[in-house]
Chain A
């Protein structure tokens, strides 16, 4: 199949060289030249109930364990699960993702999690973000270690961006990362002191004797100029993409905007919270359903909005641990062990649920109660780093993890 990328690279270059390329094509060519791979990492903080996100409807044990909060088998009710493969179904509110799954651009990984058994949100998030389960004193996050492993001379200030007020643990480290909640707000806000102040600051920093401040200052003002050129206030998502009007929707919209603006984005991060459903979790409607609705409509809009740029993009969701197989006394679920992840993007070999399914029978459960982990979350991260981002030696990114391609699930070619 000849991709649109290929045409842009070859056909358009030919036009340019002949001297009569339309200006939009000239722009596209330069963009194609600067296009790199993009990873968008999404953290579902609070521990999403993976068993209701990707439902093992073929297991009677699932229905036995969840008398009031189970998702109905596909076709059984108005709001039943969306059948994926005759065994698993998507939660009905994840229906916006079904067409992407069917188009083989979305894969799911089930029974994935940490080798550490902690059921503390704090510790489990920490371990997932540092990718060093069981080791608390790791100072940097694994995404930052990726940036360090791949130092680039041509890196822009937008190489790594967290759409959050503060840097998340996963991006903490030596390599520079921008944390911003609103890209339209990024810049110098002069107030009554007058617009010339930004220029004045830039002059001061350009002359700074301190090397670190000098370089960082240049980076900051360069970033302002790049953003101004991208004109964030005027951004219109590609129809028919419609992001949910939620913080998560806003974050994804801005990530898409940065990808399309060609500002050198390589790693983007967003949080989406509200998954800690101990009480009244709901089934096809209710708390969890509302959160999944936000998630699915956000990811669905991102996929449409990115257009052919999705060829370069992989989106990965993660959540610190799964929830108990059994419903608790408050129609909710408590802290469990293994969970499910979503992987979406052009390069993804989708249309499949990856990972070995451990089963829900009592003797198959972890510590007698939870879904067992059959895939180490680092297997997933490492596959993305190697096969999508193209890192030859990922060992420094995942200290203490025995890198072995045979552990990869194969959701990326």
Chain B
């Protein structure tokens, strides 16, 4: 089979060039691809489908206003603006986030104000219960299913839950309402790449800062900076146990890390997750080298599983990172390098000799080596192409994107540009070829129905029901980015049910105005008049499907007797599950 660009050269040139040049030519884009010089004058209205495709990948769903913006200024200018989010304000989103209490707090404040009081109260409650053991009468339901749980109504307990609630709700609100759409798409991508699970011990304290301070400011920077920031983040140090990793031959092996008494209750989560620090928790820690971070750093964050490293490299990398730890983790402490725990000897990582006595620099040196390894360029390129182009990344495109990664020393803006301006991205085969993840599905329904969210909780719950609970992806791999992971019978029905609940205005705190959406000013009478329905259908097909619904879907929608039903059949249809 021919590679995509060769199969559809004419089409690609037509799409790309048209969009790059029309109107947008006037924009001050500095990095215009050479192809623009060859631009034939094709009228843009014919390329609406391409614009919608572009927006369905670089945003959380094309809105009409964005379609017009791209048509007006061109793809290059639109991208350029999205890649410099600091240059424009996001006032509408900021206003929506203003009421949140915890989003701007440091980890220490979150620990002190939201977790430690509840933890102390829970401890007292348990000690009080010790005086009068609970009894389960035979034949009755067990009275103390959650022995360590405080009454759900207790304000301390509510406060404790609020941190993850606010974090989850802000993610939905940003995805729906932020004008900095590409930034939010990339925060979603990179958080997932450097995944940390909120259910593991103190990580639930640390994720607010992790996303806000570690990930978000660096998604348009150099890969090495992002990698370094995650390596030093308490969230990652805790999640992959590096904070416990010490030189087993060092002088301070016996120095125990104090027990972590932060105990999550299992109520709102599917499982009672980590309670205490591994090993160290019980007061008799088995201290030594911990390889977890070293292994995942290479396998998941940089080189990839086939990245040419050995178990020996894992051990050597782990030795380099000994002493990279957290100051007072249960209090939301920060990164600390402890030289007493560091292995001072020389190491060899992927053939590079790291001289003795480097201290904290050993770890930084490893990150330099990994960030510049060609395997990393290829691994990151393939993962980004999978996200933005196809479940099966075209090898030729991966090669070119990896090449761009290497020649720019991992300048992520240039890497993204290489993807978004590639013929493979614009090929007609690529349109609508990715299955939306549960998060993308929920967000795109809200965006395309112009839903008003007083409260994002219902959307957060919907994403959870569809199998993708926010910040609660347990394995360090993050969520998969392939269709087969998300197309399950239960989840598909869940999507239909979400659409039905949305159009019925049954989701608490979410309102959709369907008559307005359907392009009618007719108020309540709408839906009973045949003419309105025809107009509504036309409008919805335009908005939801980019005018490309299947004959069957059209026929099914033609039989719809009301506008809510019409919209539900559109949002639940197979075409709408794709992007």
- Kindly state the separation between the CA atoms of A176 and B484 in the bound complex, as whole angstroms: 9
Q: Which of A218-244 contact B (CB under 8 A)?
A: 219-220, 223-224, 244
Task: Return A333 CB to nearest CB of chain B, in Å.
Answer: 11
Considering only CB atoms, which chain B residue lies closest to A287 in the complex?
B147
**In-complex Cβ contact of B465 among A45, A126, A165, A203 (8 A):** A165
Is A19 close to B, CB under 8 A? no
| Inter-subunit contact A176/B500 (CB<8 Å) | no
Point out the residue from A157, A204, A282 that lies within 8 Å of B552, measured CB to CB. Answer: A204
Contacts of A61 in B (CB 8 A): none
Q: Mark A112-146, 1 if CB is under 8 A from B, else 0.
A: 00000111111101100000000011110000000
- Interface residue B475 (Cβ < 8 Å from any Cβ of A): yes
10 cross-chain pairs, A with B, having the tightest CB-CB distances, nearest first: A207-B552, A122-B274, A208-B574, A220-B489, A120-B278, A290-B136, A286-B133, A290-B142, A280-B130, A279-B126
- By beta carbon, the residue of chain B nearest A215 is B487
B 532-572 contacts with A by CB, 8 A: 550-553, 556, 559-562, 564-565, 568-569, 572
- Taking a contact as CB atoms under 8 Å apart, the answer to whether A166 and B467 are in contact is yes
Using known A-B contacts A177-B488, A178-B489, A203-B552, determine if residue A189 contacts B278 with beta carbons closer than 8 Å. Answer: no
Given contacts A179-B490, A280-B133, 8 further A-B contacts (CB under 8 A): A121-B273, A169-B474, A178-B490, A213-B574, A216-B488, A216-B492, A286-B133, A335-B275
A207 to B552, CA, bound (A): 6
Residues on A close to B: CB < 8 A? 45-46, 93, 117-123, 125-126, 136-139, 157, 164-169, 174, 176-180, 186-194, 197, 200-201, 203-210, 212-214, 216-217, 219-220, 223-224, 244-247, 271, 273-274, 276-280, 282, 285-287, 289-291, 293-294, 324, 330-331, 334-335, 367-369
Chain B 105-135 interface residues, beta-carbon cutoff 8 Å to A: 123, 126-127, 129-130, 133-135
Residues of chain B lying within 8 A (CB to CB) of residue A204: 550, 552-553, 556, 569, 572-574
Pair A123/B278 contact, Cβ less than 8 Å? yes
Q: How far is the CB of A97 from chain B (nearest CB, A)?
A: 15
Nearest opposing residue in chain A for B197, CB measure? A122
A214 to B577, CA, bound (A): 12
Q: How far is the CA of A278 from the CA of B129 in the complex (A)?
A: 13
Known A119-B279, A137-B295, A166-B270: A282·B133 in contact at CB below 8 Å: yes
Instruction: Report if A165-B464 is in contact (Cβ < 8 Å); known contacts: A204-B573, A335-B281.
Output: yes
Q: Which residues of B contact A137 (CB under 8 A)?
A: 295-296, 299-300, 305, 475-477
Cβ-defined contact, B270 with A246, below 8 A: no
Whether a CB of chain A sits under 8 angstroms from the CB of B483 is yes
Candidate in B147, B286, B295 with the most chain A CB atoms within 10 angstroms: B147
| B355 at interface by CB-CB < 8 Å | no
Residues of A near B506 (CB, < 8 A) are: 191
B209 beta carbon closer than 8 Å to chain A: no
Count of chain B residues near A, Cβ 8 A: 88
Cα–Cα distance between A274 and B134 once the two chains are bound (Å): 14
Contact A168 B274 (CB under 8 A): no
Contact A369 B284 (CB under 8 A): yes
Whether B503 pairs with A193 at a CB distance below 8 angstroms is yes
Residue of A nearest to B555 (CB): A203
Of the candidates A121, A293, A335, which one forms a contact with B272 in the assembled complex, judged by CB atoms under 8 Å apart?
A121
A299 smallest CB distance to B (angstroms): 14
Q: Looking at the assembled complex, report how far the CB atom of A137 sits from the nearest CB atom of chain B, in whole angstroms.
A: 6
Residues of A within 8 A of B559 (CB): 200
User: Is B199 in the interface zone, CB < 8 Å from A?
Assistant: yes
Chain B contacts of A176 at CB under 8 A? 488-489
Q: Which of A45, A212, A245, A331 has the most CB of B within 10 A?
A: A212
Contact A324 B487 (CB under 8 A): no
Q: How far is the CB of B40 from chain A (nearest CB, A)?
A: 31
Report B-chain residues with C-beta under 8 Å of the C-beta of A126.
Answer: 474-475
What residues of B have a CB within 8 angstroms of the CB of A276 in the complex?
148, 263, 272, 275
**Smallest distance from the beta carbon of B294 to chain A beta carbons, Å?**
11
8 Å CB contact of A193 from B138, B475, B568, B577? B568
Are A286 and B134 interface neighbours, CB within 8 A?
A: yes
Q: Nearest-CB distance from B438 to chain A (Å)?
A: 11
Are B277 and A120 touching (Cβ within 8 A)?
Answer: yes
Contact A200 B574 (CB under 8 A): no
Binary per-residue interface labels of chain B (497-510) against chain A in the complex, 1 for a CB within 8 Å, 0 otherwise: 10011011010000
A117 contacts across to B, CB distance below 8 A: 279, 286
Check A191 against B488 for contact (C-beta < 8 Å): no
Does A193 lie within 8 Å of B500, measured CB to CB? yes
Q: B296, B435, B476: which contacts A212 (Cβ < 8 A)?
A: B435
Complex formed: what's the CA distance from A188 to B200 in Å?
35
Neighbouring B residues of A278 by C-beta, 8 Å:
148, 263
When chains A and B are docked, how far (Å) is the Cα of A118 from the Cα of B290?
A: 11
Chain B residue at minimum C-beta to C-beta distance from A223: B489
B207 to chain A, nearest CB (A): 15
Report whether over half of chain B's contact residues are helix, strand or loop; otherwise say mixed: loop
Residue numbers in B under 8 Å from A123 (CB-CB): 274, 278
CA of A334 to CA of B407, assembled, Å: 53
A206 to B435, CA, bound (A): 17
Specify the chain A residue showing the minimal Cβ separation from B146.
A274
CA distance A250 to B430 in the complex (A): 46
Return A178 CB to nearest CB of chain B, in Å. Answer: 5
B33 interface hit (Cβ, 8 Å): no
B251 contacts chain A at the CB level, 8 A cutoff: no
Contact B561 A194 (CB under 8 A): yes
CB of B492 to closest CB in A, whole Å: 5
- How far does the alpha carbon of A124 sit from the alpha carbon of B292 in the complex, in Å? 14
Indicate whether B282 reaches chain A with its CB closer than 8 angstroms.
Answer: yes
| Interface pair B130/A331, CB less than 8 Å apart | yes
Q: Looking at the assembled complex, report how far the CB atom of A282 sits from the nearest CB atom of chain B, in whole angstroms.
A: 5
A193 in contact with B504 given A200-B569, A287-B134 (CB within 8 Å): yes
Complex Cα–Cα for A190 and B141 (A): 34
Chain A contacts for B282, CB-based, 8 A? 119, 324, 334-335, 369
| Contact B299–A330 (Cβ < 8 Å) | no
Complex Cα distance, B281 from A133, in Å, reads 20
What mask results when residues 134 to 159 of chain B are scored 1 for a CB within 8 Å of chain A, else 0? Answer: 11101001111111100000000000
* A122 & B145 in contact (Cβ 8 Å cutoff): no
Interface pair B284/A217, CB less than 8 Å apart:
no
B281 pairs with A213, CB closer than 8 A: no
A121 to B465, CA, bound (A): 24
CA distance A343 to B273 in the complex (A): 25
B266 in the interface, Cβ–Cβ < 8 Å?
yes
Asked if B276 is an interface residue, CB under 8 A from chain A, the answer is yes
A290/B270 in contact, CB under 8 A: no
Alpha-carbon gap, A190 to B560, bound state (A): 13
Determine whether the beta carbon of A280 is less than 8 Å from that of B129.
Answer: yes
Neighbouring B residues of A220 by C-beta, 8 Å: 489-490, 492-493
A137 vs B300: C-alpha distance when bound (angstroms): 8
Contacts of A273 in B (CB 8 A): 145-146, 266, 271-272
**In the bound complex, do residue B565 and residue A197 qualify as a contact, i.e. CB atoms below 8 Å apart?**
yes
What are 30 contact pairs spanning A and B, CB under 8 A? A45-B272, A119-B281, A120-B201, A121-B272, A126-B474, A136-B295, A136-B296, A137-B299, A139-B480, A174-B484, A179-B490, A188-B493, A192-B504, A193-B504, A197-B500, A197-B569, A207-B553, A208-B550, A208-B574, A210-B574, A212-B435, A212-B483, A212-B487, A213-B487, A216-B489, A220-B489, A279-B123, A279-B127, A290-B136, A291-B142
Within 8 Å by CB of B574, from A120, A165, A214, A330, lies A214
- Cα of A334 to Cα of B279 in the assembled complex, Å: 11
Contact A330 B572, CB 8 Å, known A137-B299, A192-B564, A244-B141: no
CB of B61 within 8 A of chain A? Answer: no
Q: Given the known inter-chain contacts A137-B475, A213-B435, please indicate yes or no for A187 contacting B493, CB distance below 8 A.
A: yes
List chain A residues, Cβ under 8 A from B138: 293
A118 touches B279 (CB 8 A): yes
Determine if A178 and B147 form an interchain contact, defined as CB atoms under 8 angstroms apart: no
Docked-complex contact B467 and A167, CB < 8 angstroms: yes
Q: Which residue of A lies closest to B577 (CB)?
A: A213
Contact A122 B200 (CB under 8 A): yes
Chain B residues with Cβ below 8 Å from A168 are 270-271
Taking CB atoms, residues of chain A closer than 8 Å to B295 are 136-137
